Each structure stands twice: as C-alpha cells, then as structure tokens.
Amino acid sequence: MGARRTDESLVVALDCGTEGVRAGVFDPTGRPVAFARAPYSTTHARQGWAEQDPDAWWDAVVSATQQVMASGVDAAAVKGLAVACTSCTVVVSDANGRPLRPALLWMDVRAAPQARRIGETGNPALKYSGYNQTSAEWLLSKVLWIAEHEPDVYARAVHVNEYTDWLGYRLTGEWAANINTAAIRGYYDRDAGGWPTSLFAQVGLPDLLSKLPARIVDLGDTLGELTAEAATDLGLRPGTPVAEGGADAFVGMVGLDVLAPGRVALITGSSHLHLAQTGRPSYAAGMFGAYTDAVVPGQYTIEGGQTSTGSVVKWFRQLCDGGYFGGDVVTSETFYRVMQEDASKIPPGSDGVLALDFWQGNRTPYIDAEARGMIWGLSLGHTPAHVYRALIEAVCFGTENVFRTFAQCGHPITDVVACGGAVNSELWMQIHADVSNVPITITTVPEAVTLGTAILASVAGGLHPDVASAARNMVSVARTIEPDAEAHEAYQFFFNKYIASYDAMSDLMHKVVQHVCT
C-alpha cells in the first residue's frame, strides 16, 4: 500500500460473517484497495445451539475497520459505508440497544419445536417457507423460543433485530429493518401489507410488532449517517453516509451481478445459499420465497440453502489436524493441499463412501432442523482423502437437490455464478459443475459479499446512481468452469443414493435428536 491519497473516492464494506468481520475498501470500479479481518467466537452450549456476543461483533468491526484505515486509506476519501451480516441472527436488546442475552446465530436450530407449531397454523404468510412448514433458523421461530424459555428476557426486550439492523443502529443511531432480512427471514411482504401480524397473534406474540422496526429500508438506500461516536471508534469521518445492507449471501448476489432473472448465485462459505431473481412470484414446498422486493424492487427472490457445507469440511480438518491429542497441529494449508491432491485422484463416488451434509440440519428442500450428518460405506481400505472427497460430493449433491427443486418449480438452472471459500478449491468447483452439469462462472473479485456491500455503499455515497448500474461497473468475470459429461453421468448413481440415504435415515435421525435434546 502506498502513501495516503485523498484525490480518489472510496467506500468501506463490512462483511460480518460467521467467524468474524472482513473489512474491505474499494474504488468505484470495484478494485479492492485494502482488506482486513477480525475474528469472534461462537458458543455451542448444546447440540443444535449456536450463540455469539453482539459486543464482540462491534469490537471486531472496530478492529477490522481500523486496520484497513491504517493501511493508507484517508478518511476524507471514504464516501460511503455499508454492512452485510449473517442471517437469521437475532438480537434482543433494551431501549439503548444493549443486548439482553447472546444473539442466536443463524445456524442455531434449537427452535425446531416452535417451527413445527408455526407451520401448523397454516397462515398465508407461510407461503415464503413452503406453506405448512417453517425453519427453526428464521426470526419468528427463534423469538418464540426466547418468549417461551426466557419470558423475562422477552418481556424486557424493547428491540428485536437481525444482526444487520442492530449493527446499523450502532453505526447511525437509527432503528430500521432492511427489506432483505425482513422479507427472507421475517415474512415481511410488501405485496401483502408488511409484517404478518395475524401470524404473530396466532403463535401468541401479538406484541412482537411493537418490538420490530417500523421503518423498512431498501438495499443501497441511505440508512443514516455515521455518528460522531462510531466515527471515532472506526477512524472515519462523522456524517459519512451509511447504506442499508442485508443478509450476507443476498448481498453476495449484488457482488456477483446476479440481479436479473435467468441466473443463480451460488454463495459458499460455512453454508451454501442458492439465490435467483424472478419477475413473478412462485411458491412451493422445498423452496424458500419468492420474497417480494428482497434484493431488487419490483422483483422476487427464490432461495435454496444448505446449512452445513464449509463448516463440515472445517470440522473434518479439525479432526485430522492432531490438535485434539495435544500434538503438533497440521496447518490448514498443509491439510487442504494434501487432501486436494489425494482426493483428486479418487473417482466420482469416492470408491463407495457417501455422506449426508446435515451437520446442523437441512435448510432446503427438506426444511428439517432435526436431520443430522452421516458418513457410510466405509471400509478399512478407505483413507482420509476418501472421506474428504465424500463430504465435498455430499455438499454438491445437496446443491443439485436444490437445483432440481428449483426446476420443478419452473426455474431451471443453466447459469451459475459462484463465490466464497469453495471457489478456492478447483476440485470442489469442478465437482459442483460435474454433478449439476452446468458451467460455473467465477468473478474477478472472489469476495463477492464484501464487493456487494461496497456496491451498496457506492450508491449511498453518490458514486453510482443505483445498485444495478453500480454492479455492472464494479463486477467482472475471471473464468468459467465447464462440466465433464462423463463425470456427470457417473455421479447420477451416487446422487440417487444420497437422496435414498435421507429417506431411509430421517426417521431414525429425528428420534435420536429428540431423545438427546429432551
């Protein structure tokens, strides 16, 4: 990084993920200027639980932002700021925004019983989650769990927010809900009048509306201005425009320029999301959405998702790195290099090792919080590389299961644009292409969520007139991975066994989970 420059316009993007904050600085063409990271931790007190400390989020935001500013960025050059965060991650706080308990992270599925009861209402709002079902990951399920298990906390809560909106308050002092997370996880539907008050009443939370933000802001619109206190903490200028952000994966659609019907964004990381735009609403079991105005006003967004993908591979790496036994820990770099090299020599189907990628349940198409991971077909001749490849293949089978559900609902998948951690693995991306028999496009800036956040900031900062034109100017293509027809044919047998494995084991999984968790 060279000397500080004040003769160019820049934006700051805060990508607040599962494991920490990535701060990025970009110019108006989408060129990355600086990156920095700051971690925070997750607590798993019980099976299916996942909590984080919101104050740790703020500390990480401050640390990461200070790092990028210290790298040679002048605060006078920063014209806008935006955030994208995990979702549905729920914060309940007092009137001053002080959290009353740890946040329930997106992957927390303790609210499975509450989700079942919500689904049993048959409320029309449930069209977003398959009509007669909902997810334990979603806002209402988690808030209902808090109200039933921690009624004092719920009674004292003045504000119920998603991570993005709580952080927006810390930055600007403004309480608002972004249209994205309100629609995708809170059943907010502009076409139907907004928040689903009848559903809130049916599940015994008629006062929830009073705890949710009244103001709803579209992606890229100005949420507010950076307060003097926040500016001092971050090393930015007071009054810097703060754009409305949203859920990280959906902001990743912006960073991939998947803003028109006909394409799908494959957002990889700890989880996978599969997101596409459509000009008409479409509702079906096994598919989330179509969410009204969630990304682009006047359009609808459909969603598929896998709760555990990169997190499963990380879990396996930690099993293999020697740290559990107190010995020398194998570095991540060494682990992935060896696994990639060895797994690439194994044929499709991992020599008979198959897995289910449901370590934290299944998001779609089964919407089953009580599903769990499985590895089978093992023999004494199999190696860690076989298991590694089988886990990656399971993730790719799960993605194909989502794509087939989309197609059955009238949205065939022919064009995939991918981002996130998995794109760093040529093996993983090739298996995705081969299993689904579709080309996969990789963009120039792999940090699509961070870039998408920067695109939103550029609109609020006046560098581009709207989100669509900003994306066209800031996103470019690096390469395309083509599917191998022979490998695709070989994978059909194993994909069918992936489906059959869940069908055969789901009832046993549910019984074991219910026994362990009661």
Residue 343's CATH number: 3.30.420.40
Q: Please, what is the average pLDDT of the chain?
A: 95
Are 88 and 181 in contact, with CB atoms under 8 Å apart?
Answer: yes
Residue 260 has a pLDDT of 87
Is the predicted pLDDT of residue 7 greater than 70, yes or no? no
Angle subtended by helix axes 310-320 and 384-408, to nearest 10: 170
Instruction: Answer whether residue 340 is part of any domain.
Output: yes
pTM of the model: 0.87
118 contact partners, CB below 8 Å, separation of at least 6 = 126, 134, 140, 141, 144, 199, 203
Taking CA 121 as the corner, what is the angle to CA 116 and CA 123, rounded to the nearest 5 degrees?
120
Residue-wise pLDDT for 125-137, tens only, equals 999 988 778 889 9
DSSP 482: P
| pLDDT bucket at 5, cuts 50 / 70 / 90 | very low
Q: Give the number of residues written for the chain.
A: 518
Are 475 and 453 in contact, with CB atoms under 8 Å apart?
Answer: no
Is the predicted pLDDT of residue 321 greater than 80, yes or no? yes
Residue type (1 letter), 41: S
Write the burial class of residue 129 (CB in 10 Å: 0-12 exposed, 13-18 middle, 19+ buried).
buried
Instruction: Answer whether residue 396 is part of any domain.
Output: yes
pLDDT greater at residue 94 or residue 269: 94
Is the predicted pLDDT of residue 388 greater than 50, yes or no? yes
Q: Is 368 helix (H, G, I), strand (E, B) or coil?
A: strand
In the chain, the number of structural domains is 1
Mean pLDDT (whole number) for 98-114: 96
% pLDDT > 90, the chain:
88
pLDDT greater at residue 372 or residue 262: 372
Are 244 and 176 in contact, with CB atoms under 8 Å apart?
Answer: yes
**Within 13 Å, how many C-alpha atoms sit on residue 409's CB side?**
25
Element (H, E) at 224: strand 222-225
Mean pLDDT (whole number) for 286-290: 91
Instruction: Answer whether residue 478 is part of any domain.
Output: no
Residue-wise pLDDT for 464-503, tens only, equals 999 999 999 999 999 999 999 999 999 999 999 999 999 9
| pLDDT bucket at 47, cuts 50 / 70 / 90 | confident
Q: State both tokens at 421.
A: 């951690």
298 contact partners, CB below 8 Å, separation of at least 6 = none
Are 64 and 22 in contact, with CB atoms under 8 Å apart?
Answer: yes
Residue carrying the six token digits 């972004």:
178
Residue 109 has a pLDDT of 92
Tell which residue, 3, 192, 11, 193, has the closest CA to residue 84. 11
Instruction: Answer whether residue 506 is part of any domain.
Output: yes
Instruction: Answer whether residue 196 is part of any domain.
Output: no
Instruction: Answer whether residue 122 is part of any domain.
Output: no
Range of the domain at 376: 310-410+490-517
Instruction: Answer whether residue 373 is part of any domain.
Output: yes
Residue carrying the six token digits 């103001």:
215
Instruction: Answer whether residue 383 is part of any domain.
Output: yes
The C-alpha atoms of residue 448 and residue 17 are separated, in whole angstroms, by: 13
Residue 150 has a pLDDT of 98
| pLDDT bucket at 254, cuts 50 / 70 / 90 | very high
